[in-house]
Structure 1
Amino acid sequence: MPFDCFLTLDGIDGESTDANHTNAIELLSFSFGATQAVGSSASTGGARSGERVALQDFSITKVLDKASPKIFLNCCNGTHISTVTIDVCRATGSKETYMTYEMEDVLITSYHPSGASGGELPIESVTFNPAKITLTYTVTDHDTGDSSGNASMAEPTCEKCGKQSFESQYLDSAKMILAFCGECGHVVGAIPDYQTLANAVVVNLTRGCRNGTGSKNMGFQVVSGAVIECTLGSAPTALIVTPSNMVDAGSLVAATIEDFESITNIPTFGTCDSTLSACVPATTPWTPGSANVTIGNQAFSHKDSVRSMSTSATQSNRAISISTTLGTDKLLLAGFEGTEALSQLFQFNLEMWSDDDSIDATDIVGKTVTVTMDTDQTSTRYFNGYVSQFSAGIRRDDLREYRAVVVPWLWFLTRTTNCQIFQSMTVPQIVESVFSSFSFSDYTTSGISGSHPELDYVVQYNETAFNFVSRLLEREGIFYYFTHEDGKHTLNLADSTSVFEDGDPSTIEYTYSSGARNHVNRITDWRHHYEYRSGSWASTDYNFVDFPARSTTTPADNLLNSQDTVLSYDSISSYEKFEYPGGFQTTSDGSTYAQTRIQEDELPGHVVFGSSQVHTLATANKFTISGHDCDGEDGQTYVVKSVIHHAYVSAPYRMTTANGGKQGDYHNEFTCIPDGTTYRPPRSTPIPKIYGSQTAVVDGPDGEEIWPDSYGRVKVQFHWDRVGVRDENTSCWIRCSQSMAGKNWGSMFIPRIGQEVVVTFLDGNPDRPLITGLVYNANQMPAYTLPDEKTKSYIKTNSSTGGDGYNEIRFEDLAGSEQIFIHAQRNMDERVGNDMMEQIYNNRHLIVGDDDNSDGGNQYEKIYANKELHVLGDQTEQIEGNLTLTIGNGDDDDGGSVNLYIAADKTEQIAGDNDYTCAGDLQQSIDGDHSLTVGGDRNTKVTGSDSLESEANFQHKASKNVSLDVGSSYYLSAGSDVVIEASSSLTLKVGGNYVVIDSSGVSVVGSMVNLNSGGSAGSTSITSPSTPGSPSEAAQACPTDPTEADDSETGSISAP
C-alpha cells in the first residue's frame, strides 16, 4: 500500500504543499526499531528471558530543501528540539494519517548529505535521538477513513494521583515484586519472586482485562506458559492464582505497598485452565531475571528490585568491559564507539552504567582507563587512554547512565598553548623536547629512519603544543600511531613503511553483506577508490647567503626542486603544484621535501573504504584480502590507515549464570592503502601567522654593546619569550633592514644591545623574522627633550664601549634659529673626489685645538696645485710662535717666485733681527722717497760695481770720519764747481809731493814746484772702512706633511 511521510520539526519549516501538512518536510523513507536481546541461557523449546530493550535512533532520508541548513546547524550545535513529529499517511484516497511518531526533547545525532553530479536530487540522511517517543496508531477504514481504535506506547498515568512515575520494589517478606506509583505509592500490580518460587509459571494480574468486547488493556499483565485472560466481567479485578485457592484481590486497585508486607507463605504456582478450575503444578521451571511486568511500554522485571536484593552489578564474562581507578565494576561498560587513524588522536566514546548515581568527576577525569574487548581470536584486545570528558545522564531502572570520552596522553598537548623558540635542532629532537617538558615518555622514535635536517630557528607561536608538534611532523613526512596494552598505550613515530607489520589474522576473508552482522572476522564491504591527482610538485626558497649572480634565470631557479608523481593518468604531467616558500635552504633538502610533498599528494589517489567485523583490525597493521570475487582485488595486501570501532553488549548487569552477558556486537568501518605505499600525513595543521610587526629587545653576551655577525645581523629577545635569558642565544641571527644595501656600499646602522627594534615576519611566518626599525621607550629616551625641542632632527650615535662620547649630525629647523650641527667625538675625515665648493654668507670661525689640548692644536694643509685667496676686506693674522715660509724648492722647477702686490702702504715691524739673503738680483723701485734709518752700524759690501745716481742733490754726512778707499783711479767731476772744505786742514798728496792747506796757509811740496812758496805739506791718514758683517742665513722651511684621511675601497654595482 503506498504511503506518504511528513516530518514536522519545531522551529524548522519544510517545503511541503500537502493541505494537511503545510510547511512540513516530505520524507523519502524512515526507520526505527527496538532490540530485545534474548538471555544466553535460553534453549530450544524452553523458556527465554528478556533483557532491557535497546532503542535505535530514528533515521529518515529526505531530499535537500530549505530546512537543510538549519538541520545541519542544529546537529553541529547540539541543539535540543522540543518536538519532532512524523506522520505516516495513505498516499491515495482521503490520505488519512494512520501512524504518528511523536518525539520529545530531540537531539539530531547525525546529518549526512550525499549526491552525484548529473544524478538525481541530493539526498540527506538524518538521525534523531529523543528523550521520549510515543507511537500512536489509528485504525481507519480503507474507504471511509473512520477511526476504529488506537494504541500508544506512552507511559501510563497513575489513576490515583495522575503522575507518570512507576517503580518496582522487591518485598522479601512476601517474596513478591510490586509495581507501584513512585509519587503516591498506589500499587498497580504484583508478581511473585520466581527465583524462590522456581515452579511458578503463570501469574495473571489484570486490571480491566480483555473481556472480548475489544476494550483496551490499560493496566499490566504477566503472561508465561499458559496465557490466562480474565473473563470475570468488566469490573476492575486483580487475581492471585494458586493451586488450592483463588484470592479475590479486587481491592488491590486501592492498595498501597504496605498492604503486601504481611503476605507470607505463598504456595507454588501452577498452570490453570481458562475457567480456573484446574491448576496443575508446572513441569518447567521459570527462568529468573525475565521481564515479568509490563505497564504500558514500561517493563518491570526481577532485576528492577536490585535495591532490596543481594545480587551485585558486574561486568564478569562480558564481551567488553572497562577498568578504572574507581574500582572493579564501579562503572559498567555498555558500549563504545572509537576512532583511530594514522597521525590522528584516537578517541573512544563510552556508554557506561553504575549503581552509584553520584560519581565525582574529579575521581575519573584526567585518569587512565582501559577498555577490554574479546576478539574471538582466543585473545583480548585493549584500548587504553585518559578520560577527557565525563557526563552523568538519566537514571534507568536502578542504574545511572554515564558517558566518557577517552583520548591518548598526546591529547593533553591540546590543552596548552605557548610561545617559545627552538634553535639548531631536528624535528625529532624538537618533538622529544616538547614531550619531555610535559614528562611524557610513552613513545618511541625507532621507526624514524630517514635523515631530517637541523633547523636553525623554529618558533611555537600562540598555538597548542599538539598543533606545534603536528605541523612539524607533517612538514617532515613523519607519521604516528598508537599501540595499546593493558594499562598503557604507546605513541609510535615513523617515516617509512618498515614499521607496518602483519596483523592477526594476517589474511582476512571477504564476504559480501547487505547489512546483517553475522560475519565474524570477515570483511563485509569493500570499495576501492581512485582519484586524479597532481602530476608533480615543485617548490623553491631563498637563501641570502647563497644569493645567485644576476643572470638570465630567475632567482627562484637557484633552489628550485621538482618531483613527478608515480600515478599515470592521462595528461597528469600537465598539472603541477608549486609552493613558495618551500621551507628549505639547500638543494638537497629541497629535493627531499619535494619527494615528501608529492607522496602526500598521491595518497588520496588510491585508497580502500571498507567495513568488517574483525575485532583485531588496528591502525598500521597489514592484511591480505581473500575470497574477493574480483581477481584484481583478491590476494592483495593493504595497510590499515584508519578504523572506526562500534561495540556494545545488551546482556544484563546482574547475572547469576556463569556465562551470562558474554555475547556482544562488534563491527567497524576502515580505510586502507596498498602495501608499499609511503604514507605521508596531510599538512592539515594550520601554521600560525604574525601579521604586522612586533617589537623586541636586542641582546648579546655580557660585556658587549654591539654584537653583530658578518652580515650585520643581531639577536633579540621577544617579549613573549619566557625561556630566553637575555644573552647571545635568545634567537637566531636576524637580518636588519637598512636604507640602502649594495655590493660593498649602502648604509649600516647596527642595533645595539638593549635597544628596542621593530620586527616583521616574511610571509607572516614566525620562523622568518626581519628587523625593520627601532623605537624609543621609557628606558631608551630621545637625546633631546620632547616636545620642547621638537624642531630638532638628528643622527646621534654613542661611543662604544663605555658610552662617554658621541658622534652627531643635527638639524635645527626652528625658524630664525636654523642650524646644522656636526659633532665628531674624535677624528673627522673628509675626502672629495672632485671639487668642493663652500660659501658662507656671514662669518666663519675656525678653532683648532683648545687650551686643554697640550698634544693637539696644529693645523696641517697640503695643496698639490695652486691656492688662491681673495679677501675683499682686511686680513689679520697673528702667529704667536714662529713663521717659516718656503716658496719653491719642490718638484716644480718653475716654482720659487713670489709676486706681492700692495695697492697701498706696507708697514713692517720686526721686533728682533731681520736677515735677508737674495741668491740672485735685487731690484727695487721706489716711486717716492726712500728713507732708511739704521739704529746701529750699516755695513754694505758690493762684490761688483756700486752705482749710485741721484737726479737731484747727493748728500752724504758722517758725524765723524769718512773714509774712501779707491783701489785704482778716483774720478771726481763736477759740472760746475768742486768745493772741498775742511775746518782744520786739507791735504793733497801724490807720492812724496803734497799740498797742505791749513790755517797757516798753503804749502806745496814737490820734486819740482813751479811755484815754490815755501812751507811744508801736511800728512793724511789712510782710509780704513770697517768690513760689513755677513747676514744670518735663513732656515729652510720644512712643513710636516698632514696625515691622510681614512680611505676605503670602491664598491661595485649590484646588478652589472
Structure 2
Amino acid sequence: MSKSSIQQLELKIDGQDASSLAPYRALLRERISSISEYRVQFQGGSELKSEDILFKKATIKITLDGRDKSFHGLVKSFSLLGVGQQGNIHYSVEICPQLFLLGLGEAHDIYGTSGQVDVLDIIKSELTHDQAKSPNKTQSKGRVGGNYAEFRTQGSYPKRDFVVQYAESDLSFLSRLMEKYGIFYFFEQGEGGEKLIFGDSPSCFPPSRDDTQLTFRRASGSISESMNISSFAKRDVAKPAKVYLQDYNWRNPDASLMLDVDVSGPGQGSIYGYGHHFLDKSEGQALAKVIAEAEYCHAHYFEGESDCIFLGAGQQFSQSEHPVSQFNGDFTVTEIVHEISLANSSLDAFEEMDFQTSYQNRFVCIEANTPFKNLAKTPIPKIHGFVYGVVDGDGDGKRAEINDYGQYKVRLYFDLRDEKPASASCYVRKSEVYGGADMGMHYPLLKGTEVLVGFSHGDVDRPIIVGVMPNSKLKSVVIGGNKTSNVIKSASGITVTMFDGDG
C-alpha cells in the first residue's frame, strides 16, 4: 500500500484547549448512505470528563504535502484508554456528522394526514422537526440546522396520505424510505463544517477535480511524495437476473400490477416482491428499477488503495496510467477508510506504539456513470397483530364522516400528535361480515367508537378496521345481566332482541 507522510494531525473539541490535545492515530470511515465514523486517539495532559466532551463540536484536520483536509462532526463516544509512563492520560473519541442525532431514541409519527407528502417532504421535516407535532419530537425541534442539508435530487416521488413511523429512530425511518425510493446521502467536508447532500443519480456526486486526478503507481513500500493509487482491482459477484413486483390496489381491483425489470449484466434467479405498496405499474416500475440497480452496483465494483486524502464517499475521481485499460477512467467512491498515524517523540507511551508518521486509505468505488442505489438493509417495522384506535370526525355531531367507499377516519392510540379532529388519519377501510355488488351489511360507527385496527401484510402504512371493541365507557349490549340475549341495537335506539332461553 502506498503511504504519504503527513505534516500535521490536529484535533479540536469545543471548550477544550487544542494545544493540550495531542492526536497520534486516527481511523476515519465513510460510506454513502451511512453515518461516517471518525475515531481518534490522543494524549491529554489533564483529566477530561465525558460531560465536557460528548455532543461537542469537533474537527480533525490533516495536513499533507502542504494541503489541508478537515473532518467535522459531534463527539458521539469518549473513552479513557490509560495512563502513560510519565502520567499523561490517553483518550479516544468517536466523532460523527450531526445526522447521527437522528439515530438516538425511538419514535412514532404519522405523515400525510394534513396533506399528501412524498419522501422528500418527510426527509426535510425530520431533519429540522419544523413540522413536528409529536411531543417526543418537539422537544428536539431544530436540532439540525436548516442550512445543513442540500437536495440535489432530480426524480419525482409518489404522494401519500398515510406514512407511519413506528417504534424506530428517525434515522431508521428515513433510511428505509430512502432505500425504497432510491435516494442516497453523503457528506461534503468544508472549512466551516460538513454538508449533508441528498441525491438520486450519478450527476449528484461532485465531479473529479484537480486534486482527485490520480495516477496509478505500484506501491514501493516507501513513503510517497505525491498522491497516487497504488492498488486497484475489480470484483464481480453473482446476482439475480430479474426483479418481479406484484401488488393489489383495491381502488382498481381488476387491474394487474404484476411487472418485471431486468438486472443489468449476467445473472441467475430472480427477486419476487409482493406488497411494496404501489398504486399503478409506473410506480411499481420505479421501485423495481431501484432494486435492480442496487443489486447491480453491489455486485460490480472496484477496490483500491491510495494516499490521496481528498478521496471521500461520494467523491468522483479519475485514474490514469493503469496497465489495464478498463481501469482508466472516472469512478465514484462508495466507501473509504482513512488511516493516519503520527509518530511523536513527546508521546508518553502506555502501550506498543511502534508506528511511523503516515497516511493511507482503502476504498471501494463504482464506475462514475453507474447509478448508486443502497440495498434495502434497514429493518421495516411490521405490525402482525392489532392496535387500538378511535373513530375520528369533524363537527359537533355524533356521526362520523364516511366517504364514498364507506371508509372512516381513525385516530390511532400510539399517535401522540395533537391534531385537530379528522386530521389524524387518512380514510381507512372497514372489514364487513357480508358484502358484494349492491349488497352487503354495514352498521355505521359513531365518533369516539373504539376500533381494532389490523395492517395488510403487516404494513404500517396500510391500516384496516377489523372490528369494534367495547370499553368501560362504551359497554357491550350483552353483559352478564342479559347473557341469554342476542341483541342488535342501532344508534337511535332501534333494538332487535332474540331471547335464547336459559339453556
Could you state the TM-score of these two structures normalised by the residue count of structure 2? 0.90
For 2:77, the equivalent position in structure 1 comes to 389
Q: Matched residues in 2 for 1:452 and 1:713: separation?
A: 26
Deviation string 1:36-75 (CA, Å, 9 cap, x unpaired) is xxxx9xxxxxxxxxxxxxxxxxxxxxxxxxxxxxxxxxxx
Q: Matched residues in 1 for 2:314 and 2:35: separation?
A: 14
Q: Matched residues in 2 for 1:504 and 1:647: separation?
A: 23
Q: What's the secondary structure of 1:686's corresponding residue? A: coil
Q: What's the secondary structure of 1:735's corresponding residue? A: strand
Query: Quick one: structure 1 residues 456 and 445, their matched pair in 2 at CA, closer, same or farther if it must change by over 3 Å?
Result: farther
Q: Is the 8 A contact 2:242 2:270 kept in 1?
A: yes
Q: Matched residues in 2 for 1:409 and 1:750: separation?
A: 49
For 1:566, the equivalent position in structure 2 comes to 264
For 2:502, the equivalent position in structure 1 comes to 815
Of the three residues 464, 470, 490, the one matched with 2:175 is 470
Structure 1, gaps ≥5 residues long? 1-39, 41-316, 549-554, 655-662, 800-805, 817-1056
Q: Matched residues in 2 for 1:582 and 1:538: separation?
A: 11
For 1:793, the equivalent position in structure 2 comes to 486
Q: How far off is 1:638 after superposition?
A: 0.8
For 1:706, the equivalent position in structure 2 comes to 400
**Map of 1:50-61 to 2, 5 A cutoff?**
none
For 2:184, the equivalent position in structure 1 comes to 479
Deviation string 1:773-800 (CA, Å, 9 cap, x unpaired) is 011001111235x31221122111112x
Q: Is the 8 A contact 2:108 2:164 kept in 1?
A: yes
Code of the residue aligned with 2:429 in structure 1: it is R
Matched, 1:595 2:284: no
Of the three residues 526, 536, 542, the one matched with 2:248 is 542
For 1:669, the equivalent position in structure 2 comes to 362
Q: What's the secondary structure of 2:127's corresponding residue? A: helix
Matched, 1:323 2:7: no
Q: Matched residues in 1 for 2:220 and 2:438: separation?
A: 78
Q: Matched residues in 2 for 1:813 and 1:519: separation?
A: 97
Q: Matched residues in 2 for 1:520 and 1:770: separation?
A: 64
**Map of 1:359-370 to 2, 5 A cutoff?**
359-370=48-59
Matched, 1:620 2:314: yes
Higher share in strand: 2
For 1:526, the equivalent position in structure 2 comes to 232
Code of the residue aligned with 1:523 in structure 2: it is I
Query: Quick one: structure 1 residues 419 and 351, their matched pair in 2 at CA, closer, same or farther if it must change by over 3 Å?
Result: same
For 2:119, the equivalent position in structure 1 comes to 427
Q: Matched residues in 2 for 1:809 and 1:381: separation?
A: 80
Deviation string 1:729-779 (CA, Å, 9 cap, x unpaired) is 111111000001201111112322101001111111111111110110011
For 1:512, the equivalent position in structure 2 comes to 218
Q: What's the secondary structure of 2:442's corresponding residue? A: coil
Q: Matched residues in 2 for 1:624 and 1:342: separation?
A: 19
Q: What's the secondary structure of 2:288's corresponding residue? A: helix
For 1:745, the equivalent position in structure 2 comes to 439
Of the three residues 305, 327, 336, the one matched with 2:26 is 336
State how many pairs are aligned. 472
Q: Matched residues in 2 for 1:427 and 1:363: separation?
A: 37
Q: Matched residues in 1 for 2:23 and 2:192: separation?
A: 17
Q: What's the secondary structure of 1:410's corresponding residue? A: helix
Of the three residues 47, 60, 63, the one matched with 1:371 is 60
For 1:782, the equivalent position in structure 2 comes to 476
Q: Matched residues in 1 for 2:204 and 2:20: separation?
A: 38
Matched, 1:498 2:203: yes
For 1:449, the equivalent position in structure 2 comes to 154
Q: How far off is 1:582 after superposition?
A: 2.4
For 1:552, the equivalent position in structure 2 comes to none
Q: What's the secondary structure of 2:482's corresponding residue? A: coil
Could you state the TM-score of these two structures normalised by the residue count of structure 1? 0.43
**Map of 1:899-910 to 2, 5 A cutoff?**
none
Q: Matched residues in 2 for 1:537 and 1:332: separation?
A: 53
Q: Matched residues in 2 for 1:409 and 1:728: separation?
A: 36
Code of the residue aligned with 1:330 in structure 2: it is S
Q: Matched residues in 2 for 1:465 and 1:491: separation?
A: 16
Q: How far off is 1:505 after superposition?
A: 2.2
Q: How far off is 1:379 after superposition?
A: 2.0
Code of the residue aligned with 1:685 in structure 2: it is T
Q: Matched residues in 2 for 1:653 and 1:751: separation?
A: 78
Q: Is the 8 A contact 1:338 1:349 kept in 2?
A: yes
Higher relative contact order (CA 8 A, sep 6+): 2
Q: Matched residues in 2 for 1:578 and 1:445: separation?
A: 34
**Map of 1:595-674 to 2, 5 A cutoff?**
595-633=289-327, 635-653=328-346, 664-674=357-367
Q: How far off is 1:335 after superposition?
A: 1.4
Q: Is the 8 A contact 1:526 1:608 kept in 2?
A: yes
Q: Is the 8 A contact 1:537 1:597 kept in 2?
A: yes
Query: Quick one: structure 1 residues 330 and 341, their matched pair in 2 at CA, closer, same or farther if it must change by over 3 Å?
Result: same
Code of the residue aligned with 1:666 in structure 2: it is Y
Q: Matched residues in 2 for 1:431 and 1:631: separation?
A: 41
Deviation string 1:477-502 (CA, Å, 9 cap, x unpaired) is 00000011234211100011112211
Q: Matched residues in 2 for 1:514 and 1:793: separation?
A: 90
Q: How far off is 1:664 after superposition?
A: 3.0
Q: How far off is 1:726 after superposition?
A: 5.5
Q: How far off is 1:560 after superposition?
A: 2.0
Q: How far off is 1:330 after superposition?
A: 2.9
Deviation string 1:155-205 (CA, Å, 9 cap, x unpaired) is xxxxxxxxxxxxxxxxxxxxxxxxxxxxxxxxxxxxxxxxxxxxxxxxxxx
Q: Is the 8 A contact 1:736 1:750 kept in 2?
A: no
For 2:353, the equivalent position in structure 1 comes to none
Deviation string 1:608-633 (CA, Å, 9 cap, x unpaired) is 01111111111212112122122232
Code of the residue aligned with 2:330 in structure 1: it is T
Q: Is the 8 A contact 1:517 1:613 kept in 2?
A: no
Q: Matched residues in 2 for 1:797 and 1:653: separation?
A: 87
Q: Is the 8 A contact 2:103 2:171 kept in 1?
A: yes
CA RMSD of aligned residues (A): 2.0
For 1:971, the equivalent position in structure 2 comes to none
Q: How far off is 1:516 after superposition?
A: 5.0
Of the three residues 581, 586, 589, the one matched with 2:275 is 581
Q: How far off is 1:466 after superposition?
A: 0.5
Code of the residue aligned with 1:389 in structure 2: it is S
Q: Matched residues in 2 for 1:515 and 1:734: separation?
A: 67
Q: Matched residues in 2 for 1:612 and 1:579: separation?
A: 40
Q: How far off is 1:393 after superposition?
A: 2.2
Deviation string 1:931-957 (CA, Å, 9 cap, x unpaired) is xxxxxxxxxxxxxxxxxxxxxxxxxxx
Query: Quick one: structure 1 residues 446 and 694, their matched pair in 2 at CA, closer, same or farther if it must change by over 3 Å?
Result: closer
Q: How far off is 1:653 after superposition?
A: 4.2
Q: Matched residues in 1 for 2:462 and 2:20: separation?
A: 54
Q: What's the secondary structure of 1:435's corresponding residue? A: helix
Q: What's the secondary structure of 2:401's corresponding residue? A: coil
Q: What's the secondary structure of 2:251's corresponding residue? A: helix
Deviation string 1:285-330 (CA, Å, 9 cap, x unpaired) is xxxxxxxxxxxxxxxxxxxxxxxxxxxxxxxx95111111112323
For 1:688, the equivalent position in structure 2 comes to 381
Q: How far off is 1:519 after superposition?
A: 6.6
Q: Is the 8 A contact 1:693 1:761 kept in 2?
A: yes
Deviation string 1:126-158 (CA, Å, 9 cap, x unpaired) is xxxxxxxxxxxxxxxxxxxxxxxxxxxxxxxxx
Q: Matched residues in 2 for 1:796 and 1:517: separation?
A: 88
Q: Is the 8 A contact 2:106 2:170 kept in 1?
A: yes
